[in-house]
Structure 1
Amino acid sequence: MLLLAVLVMFAGPLLASLPFLGVLDGAGSGLPPGAAVGLQAGFQVLSCVIVVALVVGWRRLMHRPVVAAGLTWSRAGALRFLVGALAIAGGLTAVRLVAVALGAMEFHTWSDADLGGLPVVAVVGAVVVQALVYQAFPEELIWRGHVTDVLRDRWSPGTVLVVTSVAFGLLHIFSQGGQETVLDHAAYVTMAILLGFACGAARLRTGGTGAAVGVHAGFHLANNFLPATAGSVVADALVMGVALAVVGAGFLLARRVPG
């Protein structure tokens, strides 16, 4: 089960990259910035579509209804998403404000180099597509949706929360976030495990995967739109990890969200 989930998670970007070979890599470096961003967004959307198709097919082979994965296109689902997104955005903002007040972090704004010659609206759109469509939605559909739904048939909710969080976090050993040393990688993976914990706690408390998608997307959006740094991968991961742990614990202690 977990191995298949990993394969599906990596299959989306891999298969989606095939139509873009020679365009999204160095061969496409001569493209205008707007075209490059558009192609990148197209790749990310295609990757999401492939992951969704694979998960739906997987569930049908297992004779499990897609709705049981916790995703519902309803007012309740939208409410869960907003609760998750606002919870992590507020939590991360609060922790960063405290860190800045203590002199452990400092805020910085987007520079012209960050914008890459593009209008702000285009950069914001690209960040939203990456956070929601490429990262949050497909990853949560797999881990807090399908995998959680299957594993809870045999394990307790707490065990499922721990297993899915650790498995999800360990995959981020392959992520590139400025890590150089072993300690950097350990800190980054720990932060990713706590992201899985916060998303899993939101799923457990609200009963819907929409809240997990909200937490995941809100984390990336807040991280991009309220940028602050402590000057090292370990320190940055520590601040983000604290926020994720607090939000996850908050979900577990809170009353169930209606709907």
Structure 2
Amino acid sequence: MDTTDMTPTATRTPAHDSSPGRASHPTRATSPGDRPSPRLPAWTRVLLATALFLPVALIGVLLYLIPGFLDLMSGDGVTVVLAYAMTAGVILAGYLLVSWALTRFVDRRPARALGWRLDGRALLALVAGYAITQAVSLLGTGTALVTGLVEPMTGLPDLPELTAGAIMTALAITLLRSFVLQGIGEEVLFRGYVLQSLSRRPILAVAITAAAFTLPHLASSGGQQNLLERVLFLAVPFGFSFSAGFLAIAMRSVWAAVGIHGGFHLATAVTTLLLPPTDGPVLWVLLGAMHVVVGVVIAVAVPDSRWSEVREHGPYAARSAATAPRSAVAPEVASPRW
């Protein structure tokens, strides 16, 4: 983060505010940590990110216009993995580009504000996120089966005899779908851009970000049979978005959210291998509710000093910046969470 972003509001002079990329008028002076004021109001930024979500997810179909590409997608082995990787990679690049542009030109913040830095903390956050979502998947599904809330699926076709190559192909496709196609890009856009953009009210930001991410999933195809089931299915994306937001704040890395989101898809596949396959509205609501509980537990465990850091510097500021000495600030700045 730029050192000018770390300077306490009380010690800033007007000359600082005229630097490139910052507000140049007294009425645009920023609040905690003197972060730049975004060029658009909060509701517009949320709406913009949400509106771009599905269009970016569809840009991979442009590859289908390449002669012969669809034949690659219907192939097997290395061929289909490479074709799938290309499609997922184009979509990921689209999400990253949009997130960077919104952060740089709308919020006027550096790209590192997205929290996507790759380092030891990122790896730890990724693993922690996956561990949480895998535990929720196993515990929730197992509990639902044991208590009779859901029944194992019946009438499933017998699986063909799997070769080592087929297993490796299925694993590669699952990882690409879980993380490259969905987890990384979608989290950088929502828990990266939107969360940092609204982080002056961090808990509210987590809830709004989860709701904004959830709404487009009305168009998802996850086995829903009617309108009610489409609504109940939203418990899943809202739940893991909620826990992902708080874990990302707690661990100072958007990779924690990637671990929960991408890990959710991977965990679903792993759980299907370990427990009898099952699905349906009851399971969706149960898993979503468990993720909300996890998010609340994480939020309660985060100290007030951390909430103040998020308000002043954003959720992903370097620790040295977040803990820099501060002068006295206005009373409303000291309010830690909402």
TM-score bucket (shorter structure)? 0.7 to 0.9
Counterparts of 2:73 and 2:297 in 1: how far apart (Å)? 48
94, 104, 111: which one aligns with 1:60: 104
The 8 Å contact of residues 125 and 255 in structure 2, kept in 1 or not, is answered as: yes
**Would the alpha carbon gap of residues 105 and 97 (structure 1) be closer, same or farther in structure 2, given more than 3 Å must change?**
same
1:2-55 deviations in Å (ceiling 9; x for gaps):
222123322323222112237799x64994333344322321111101211222
Counterparts of 1:5 and 1:66 in 2: how far apart (Å)? 16
- In structure 1, the residue matched to 2:32 is none
The 8 Å contact of residues 183 and 234 in structure 1, kept in 2 or not, is answered as: no
The 8 Å contact of residues 152 and 278 in structure 2, kept in 1 or not, is answered as: no
Q: Does 1:193 align with 2:238?
A: yes
Q: Does 1:250 align with 2:293?
A: no
1:153-204 deviations in Å (ceiling 9; x for gaps):
4xx1121111111111111001110112121011111222112111112123
The 8 Å contact of residues 144 and 200 in structure 1, kept in 2 or not, is answered as: yes
Deviates more, 1:211-220 or 1:102-111: 102-111
**Percent identity at matched positions?**
22
**Would the alpha carbon gap of residues 40 and 113 (structure 1) be closer, same or farther in structure 2, given more than 3 Å must change?**
farther
42, 51, 74: which one aligns with 2:95: 51
Q: Does 1:174 align with 2:213?
A: no
Deviates more, 1:49-58 or 1:225-234: 225-234
C-alpha RMSD of the superposition: 3.0
190, 199, 207: which one aligns with 2:252: 207
- In structure 2, the residue matched to 1:12 is 56
Deviates more, 1:160-169 or 1:103-112: 103-112
The 8 Å contact of residues 33 and 116 in structure 1, kept in 2 or not, is answered as: no
Q: What is the TM-score normalised by the length of structure 2?
A: 0.67
**Would the alpha carbon gap of residues 239 and 110 (structure 1) be closer, same or farther in structure 2, given more than 3 Å must change?**
farther
Counterparts of 1:84 and 1:223 in 2: how far apart (Å)? 14
Which residue identity does 2:174 align to in structure 1? V
Give the paired residue count: 255
**Would the alpha carbon gap of residues 229 and 241 (structure 1) be closer, same or farther in structure 2, given more than 3 Å must change?**
farther
Q: Does 1:139 align with 2:183?
A: no
Counterparts of 2:194 and 2:246 in 1: how far apart (Å)? 14
The 8 Å contact of residues 73 and 83 in structure 2, kept in 1 or not, is answered as: no
Higher helix share: 1
Counterparts of 2:217 and 2:68 in 1: how far apart (Å)? 22
Q: Does 1:89 align with 2:141?
A: no
- In structure 2, the residue matched to 1:217 is 262
Q: Does 1:165 align with 2:210?
A: yes
The 8 Å contact of residues 54 and 216 in structure 2, kept in 1 or not, is answered as: no
**Would the alpha carbon gap of residues 6 and 229 (structure 1) be closer, same or farther in structure 2, given more than 3 Å must change?**
farther
Counterparts of 1:37 and 1:214 in 2: how far apart (Å)? 22
1:131-158 deviations in Å (ceiling 9; x for gaps):
01111111110111111111124xx112
1:207-247 deviations in Å (ceiling 9; x for gaps):
22111111111111111111257855212212321332232
Rg comparison, structure with higher value: 2
Q: Which structure 1 residue ranges, 5 or more long, are not aligned? A: none
Which residue identity does 1:32 align to in structure 2? G
Which residue identity does 1:10 align to in structure 2? L
**Would the alpha carbon gap of residues 167 and 23 (structure 1) be closer, same or farther in structure 2, given more than 3 Å must change?**
farther
**Would the alpha carbon gap of residues 239 and 60 (structure 1) be closer, same or farther in structure 2, given more than 3 Å must change?**
same
Which residue identity does 1:33 align to in structure 2? D
Q: Secondary structure at the match of 1:119?
A: helix
Q: What is the TM-score normalised by the length of structure 1?
A: 0.85
